[in-house]
Structure 1
């Protein structure tokens, strides 16, 4: 059995669908593990937080709001002694073979079971913006949404602490745009998903299937 590991990164806009996709993959794929960036937010009283003076509120949408060194350490502990797949084997072009969704799922699961491939899923709004992680990913996905749709979805979510009035306009959305532009300019091989589409899972499974 192989001890090779495939590392998938899922990032993008708040409320865009990245956590849903990560959880779907984790539940579907044998021998998969999931690490979420949200689990590494600093405590609200941590002095490393950056405050937005106009809002008297912490900026939770930047890397400094997270303990990224701890996340990086935990990831490397998880992948220790694992062989990385050759990156040349993981180029994707989005092409699909004609098959049903169920057939695609079953085929991918069968191939993972047969080869013993392990899958690590890393999910978070700025994982591609943390430079020490960039070289780890074999497959990279980034969710986008129009601003109005993103705002509508975020209003329906409950955060702790909750968003204060004006947080989306002054913080969450501008930080997302900065992060997206950095990814577009500096990170190669990223596939972009429209968060209003329901095809993301099938697209990722096609990419995984193409590796074998």
Structure 2
């Protein structure tokens, strides 16, 4: 019998707080696994070059992720409850500004998840999958039991990206890269998911994708985002909710 695997996916723009949220959840939930979409980026020599500007485009959905490799890893997770030996993380290259959460919040949810998972009749592995394109590919999205999207405003995202400069030692943003590459690619990839294509302030379009809980980062502290996400994951695992309830995609 295949192990029970529950996958919660967190999408959102680069620098929106999704990776920080995902890592807090993975630290809190016992024996959970963290699946980072950046780890499915192609080798640098295969990243497409934008003919207009001459730089590599690490953000366009078509060339930024090796989707088949991502889905093969998810299939292996579903079958074994473990990440395959071929999975190699590049997270050590990802520069992040720490955003701590309270010890009280961590203790509360760690205790609740420990109790829940011990009471389960079968071993359950909870996977936290995150990435800036995590919710845009329908074939991949079908694999997720829960779906979160963290939205932050343009100015805040640009400031954070400028302070981060890019992706660790692997990549440094050329001048104007945010406005000419990162932001347009983010809007393009996510327009189909929002009513009237309004990525910046619109509602999630339920006719395009179901079950997405939208977190407005401007209105929520990191404690509040982690608390809400943990509560949703806890209830879904406890009640046995799975990806089978979603029809779109």
TM-score (norm 2): 0.71
Stretches of structure 1 that go unaligned for 5 or more consecutive residues are: 83-99
- Cα distance between partner residues in 2 of 1:167 and 1:43: 20
The C-alpha deviation readout for 1:123-167, integer Å capped at 9, x for no partner, is: 111121122112111111111111010000001114222111111
Paired residue total: 192
Q: Which residue of 2 aligns with 1:174?
A: 184
- Mapped pair 1:133 → 2:140: yes
Relative to structure 1, the CA distance from residue 172 to residue 35 in structure 2 (aligned partners, 3 Å threshold; closer, same or farther) is: same
Counterpart residue number, 1:165: 175
Q: Distance in 2 between matches of 1:65 and 1:204?
A: 27
> What's the offset of the Cα at 1:9?
0.4
Indicate yes or no: 2:111 matched with 1:106. yes
Distance in 1, Cα, partners of 2:153 & 2:186? 12
1:191 to 194, 199, 213: 213
CA contact (8 A) 1:40 1:70 kept: yes
Q: Distance in 2 between matches of 1:72 and 1:104?
A: 29
Correspondence for 2:66:
67
Are the structure 2 counterparts of residues 104 and 42 from structure 1 closer, same or farther at C-alpha, using a change threshold of 3 Å?
closer
CA distance in 1, matches of 2:33, 2:216: 25
Stretches of structure 2 that go unaligned for 5 or more consecutive residues are 82-103, 195-204, 239-249
* 2:11 aligned counterpart, secondary structure: strand
Distance 2:160 2:13 in 1: 11
In the TM superposition, 1:87-102 aligns within 5 A as 101=105, 102=107
CA distance in 2, matches of 1:58, 1:170: 12
- Counterpart residue number, 1:50: 48
TM-score scaled by length of structure 1: 0.83
RMSD: 1.9
> Is 1:79 aligned to 2:78, yes or no?
yes
2: CA distance between counterparts of 1:103 and 1:58? 44
More contact order relative to length (CA 8 Å, sep ≥ 6):
1
State the distance in 2 between where 1:113 and 1:153 align.
40
Alpha-carbon distance in structure 1 between the residues aligned to 2:66 and 2:17: 23
